[in-house]
Amino acid sequence: MAAKLVVIYPKPADSIVFERAYTEEHAPMVTPETMPGIRKFVQLKVVGTPDGSEPKYARIAELHFDSIADLQAAAAGQAAAAAVAHAHEISTGGAPLILVCEESSKSF
């Protein structure tokens, strides 16, 4: 079953500084060379909420793998440890929420 690592970043203290750090430093840390077995890297920028209230989150990242075993193997590497440490460093609105998920989907 497909798996993904989901990282949810709280709204930062300074959005401009966070966006620069995320796009220029953090996102480039996620590559097939640094995360063996990764199939897709989805980066979402939170721009609003359905009711128009201020979003509590700034970014969501999804790292897609073929299996939980592949995800765990990539997560065990030094590059993954560095990426997690960096995620915590740039997440000035609080610690990022990191989830390991099994994926099922339905196309319409």
Report pLDDT digits (tens) over 36-45. 999 999 999 9
Residue-wise pLDDT tens digits, 10-20:
999 999 999 99
For residue 79, what pLDDT is reported? 94
Could you tell me which CATH number the domain at 10-102 has? 3.30.70.100
Residue 44 and residue 58: Cα distance in Å, rounded?
9
Segment 53-72 shows an average pLDDT of 97
Burial label, 13 (beta-carbon count in 10 A; 0-12, 13-18, 19+): exposed
User: What residue spans define the domains of the chain?
Assistant: 10-102
pTM, 2 dp:
0.93
Asked if 50 and 56 count as a contact pair (C-beta separation under 8 A), the reply is no
Residue-wise pLDDT tens digits, 93-104:
999 999 999 988
Segment 76-100 shows an average pLDDT of 96
pLDDT at 105 over 90: no
For residue 98, what pLDDT is reported? 96
